[in-house]
Structure 1
Amino acid sequence: MCCIFPLTACSRNSRNDVIRIGIKFDQPGLGFKKSGTYVGFDVDVAKYIAKKLGYSEDRIVWKESPSKQREAMLQNGDVDMIVATYSITDARKNTVSFAGPYFIAGQDLLVRKDEHKVSGPDDLDGKRLCSVTGSTSAIVIKEKYSSKVQLMQQPGYAECATALFSGIVDAVTTDDIILAGLATASRGRLKLVSKPFTEEHYGIGIKKGNTKLAKRINNALKDMIKNGSWKRALDDNMRGTGFKPNAKYNPPVPEEGEE
């Protein structure tokens, strides 16, 4: 049996007739593994795309995609696509392609609830800042805002949050929508600074050069936005966080990767 919609090599998927999608397992509200199931906005976006490509939910194989491993997973054919708060950058486009964007976030800071001295990236000189291995967030702060910040990398966001709880670091940095979920999961112990200072265009990572798949994915995203499913998914997953996406940029226009 051949694939309904070829993703990479048809033979790779035809054995089980499944689609393999990379997501995060440690981002509440976005991609989160909970009691053997997967929940979050990225998960809902991925399910919608898969359905439009001809794959029912029971034919999705979820793969954990840590930031450091995403490009390699696509290049090696371990996944067919990655929907994991994956910012579209020129450097990444040297090795993989993207569809989307499906959301535009902004880099921000997460601090302890009693922190009053850190109100933005310029306040981090001499402070200890945690980011996830494979992310460029902390480098942006060191190069553009606070050259004397002390950087710590951890394999995942849960580890960064733990370091913040325990006082090992003074702040965590990544995108606002990710940090909002972590703040909510902390039950009031952590807070979002809520002063984003970059634009992060979240794309669907696919194997380099697959323009046909990019177009199919973009069409699915446009449909999701048009019929209201995108807004419902975002509202459902952000409920209780207090997070409001930037209406100037969201929903975005998905047109990446078609040429």
Structure 2
Amino acid sequence: MKRSHRTRARRSALAVTAFLLVAVTACGDDGDEEPSLLDGTVHIGAAFDQPGFSLHANHTDRGFEVDLAAHLGKELGFTVRFQDVPTGRREQELDQGAATLVIATYSITPAREKEVDFVGPYLNTQQGFLVRKNYNKIKKEKDVQDKLICTVEGSTSARADLPPRTTIREEADFSTCVSKLQQGNVDAVFTDEALLYGYVEQQKRSKVPLKVVPDVAFGLTNRYGIGLQKGHTEDCEKLLAAVRDYLNEEWANDIKTQLPALVDTYPGDWQNRFKPDTGDLNTYSSCKAPE
């Protein structure tokens, strides 16, 4: 009886071991598929201090990129939760999983595409100069020589090829640059033209109103994309479809609502300047629309 009991025990142990091996193997097969990033609450890295695009203050979120994120959440069935992400840490936040997506005037560039995937563009813009409204010493490109220009570390503007003898001061965020501009500590703020119009609108009733220098631009067109961790092809494709819908359905109304100074500056032409063609999505996104 004892021997039979031990035999049954050994057989039971072998059966359990075999079951566990099958289960582990099955789990391993499922684990080859990347889990979706777009379930439940999605943490979106944003720039909290960019009026017109992404301004988070007094428990209120508003701006063009806030509207875009809301559209994505509604379309794809997730809850949006914003968190502030410094410009220079966007790639690290995605790589470490601290942010699920980054929607923060994040230009698609070859260098960044080596570290993260992109969906976009959802807006195109050249780079320009923000100055005090009564300041008229910059009227053409070469006038920025011998001027002190403020921009943000880690941005595409910080790496732009400005004329010789231009002095660049890099700050952690554009709000700091704008404050220094209004205080007279710098001559201009240099970044994407579309972004500058948010500050024009925000400061139009302040003691030191601002303007974007007309017809003065540098560098290539910047194309804003949604950043996500590499390798999530299905999520990328879902976002791509949702951004295409956004461009067709809600983009124009949200720009008019959130960036009225931009619209007023280019009446009749603002969509040609700033709205991407939906065909650009397949060109610049890390994934392509399914056939």
Flag whether TM exceeds 0.5 (same fold): yes
Mapping 1:1-259, distance limit 5 Å:
9=35, 17-55=40-78, 59-140=79-160, 143=161, 145-187=162-204, 189-195=209-215, 196-197=217-218, 198-226=220-248, 228-240=249-261, 242-244=264-266, 245=270, 247-248=272-273, 250-253=275-278, 254-255=281-282, 256-258=285-287
How far is the alpha carbon of 1:248 from its aligned partner?
5.0
Contact 1:27–1:157 (8 Å) recurs in 2: yes
* Structure showing greater Rg: 2
- Rounded to whole Å, the distance in 1 between the matches of 2:86 and 2:265 is 24
How far is the alpha carbon of 1:34 from its aligned partner?
2.6
Contact 1:75–1:96 (8 Å) recurs in 2: yes
Q: For 1:117-161, what per-residue CA distance to the aligned partner results, in whole angstroms no more than 9, with x for missing partners?
A: 212432111110000121131431xx3x41211111111111001
How far is the alpha carbon of 1:207 from its aligned partner?
0.5
Cα RMSD (Å) of the superposition? 2.1
> How many residue pairs align between the two structures?
243
- Rounded to whole Å, the distance in 1 between the matches of 2:66 and 2:273 is 24
2:62 alignment partner AA: V
2:272 alignment partner AA: A
- Rounded to whole Å, the distance in 1 between the matches of 2:222 and 2:38 is 31
Q: 1:65 to 1:194 in 2, by over 3 A?
A: farther
Contact 1:176–1:194 (8 Å) recurs in 2: no
Q: 1:99 to 1:9 in 2, by over 3 A?
A: same
Name 1:5's counterpart in structure 2. Answer: none
Once the two structures are overlaid, the 10-residue window that deviates more, 209-218 or 160-169, is 209-218
Contact 1:31–1:41 (8 Å) recurs in 2: yes
How far is the alpha carbon of 1:169 from its aligned partner?
0.6
- Rounded to whole Å, the distance in 1 between the matches of 2:143 and 2:234 is 45
Partner SS for 1:181: helix
Name 2:30's counterpart in structure 1. Answer: none
After TM superposition, what 4+ stretches of structure 1 lie above 4 angstroms from structure 2?
none
Q: 1:13 to 1:107 in 2, by over 3 A?
A: closer
How far is the alpha carbon of 1:243 from its aligned partner?
4.5
Q: 1:30 to 1:243 in 2, by over 3 A?
A: farther
Normalising by structure 1, we get a TM-score of 0.87
Q: Which runs of 5+ in 1 are unaligned?
A: 1-7
Name 2:16's counterpart in structure 1. Answer: none
Contact 2:148–2:169 (8 Å) recurs in 1: yes
Q: 1:147 to 1:211 in 2, by over 3 A?
A: farther
Normalising by structure 2, we get a TM-score of 0.78
How far is the alpha carbon of 1:208 from its aligned partner?
1.5
Contact 2:201–2:259 (8 Å) recurs in 1: no
Partner SS for 1:115: coil
- Greater fraction helix: 2
Q: For 1:177-228, what per-residue CA distance to the aligned partner results, in whole angstroms no more than 9, with x for missing partners?
A: 11001112122621101333331100000112322222111100111222x2
Contact 1:129–1:138 (8 Å) recurs in 2: no
1:176 alignment partner AA: E
Partner SS for 2:164: coil
